[in-house]
Amino acid sequence: MSNAIDLKDRFAIVTGGAQGIGRAVVERFLASGARVAIFDRDSALVVKTADDLGRARVMPVTVDVSSLADVERAVAEVHAEFGRIDILVNNAGVAGANHKTWDYPEAEWKVMAINLDGPFFCCRTVAPHMIAQRYGRIVNVASIAGKEGNPNASAYSASKAGVIALTKSLGKELAEFDIAVNCVTPAAARTAIFDQMSQQHIDYMLSKIPRGRFVQVDEVAATIAFAASADCSFTTGAVFDLSGGRATY
């Protein structure tokens, strides 16, 4: 039985919300009373997820978060539908290839466009709405790789370190408006993102976790739900660790 988190009458955007961690967050938000707009670039999947979870409280939006213009269009649609945006969860992300930094293909550096540009574009677009209503909660999904750096994953690690720094800067900028900006740094979860990784890299990540297992998507969603709630009223610019003991800082 999950602890009760009160998100009644809150309106949320969850990027990459059609599957994996994102879908778990959407489900937790719905159970907590929120209405949710799911941002995802997979049109068919985002519609299917919304149909599965119930269109009465879920709004599917096809959007490429690496495009500022597309994000601005999508946020405008959500604000027109909901009337306000209380919560933003920047979860959309890709893993990229596994190579030594000196062999890393230039084309694969596109990881930055989704993992770092995406959260920046979404925060940039949503923040003015939250400032106007003088309330908001932003939760960015970073990674333990952003704290420690994973070998053979320089682009992913760098992008997630950037998300952590973005969180700290924005948290200070928005603190006076009752807008909390925090991030989570999970260890790997067994989701579709594993399909982008080599087995050697997966084994490496597991070997570094003292708990001896990968994090469950529901565990990540539980921490995000708290950070997205009114109860998270003083902490901002912070990093909530979900690395199973790999990082104790």
Residue 249 domain flag: no
Residue 195 half-sphere exposure toward CB, CA atoms < 13 A: 3
pTM here?
A: 0.94
173 inside domain: yes
* pLDDT of 231 strictly over 80: yes
Q: Is the pLDDT of residue 1 over 60?
A: no
Is the distance from CB of 240 to CB of 142 less than 8 angstroms? no
Is 213 among the domain residues? yes
Find the domain containing 68 and state its range: 11-242
For residues 199 and 168, the model is more confident at 168
204 is catalytic: no
**pLDDT one-digit tens code per residue, 204-223:** 888 989 999 989 999 999 99
The reply to whether 6 falls in a domain is no
Residue in 104, 135, 156, 249 annotated catalytic: 156
The answer to whether position 43 is within a domain reads: yes
pLDDT of 228 reads: 98
Residue 5 belongs to a domain:
no
pLDDT at site 173 = 98
pLDDT tens per residue across span 3-48: 889 999 999 999 999 999 999 999 999 999 999 999 999 999 999 9
Report whether pLDDT(191) > 80: no
Name the packing angle between helices 20-31 and 43-53 (round to 10°).
Answer: 30
Counted domains in the chain: 1
- How many angstroms separate the CA atoms of 179 and 95, rounded? 29
With respect to residue 2, please indicate whether it lies within any of the assigned structural domains. Answer: no
CATH number of the domain within which 18 lies: 3.40.50.720
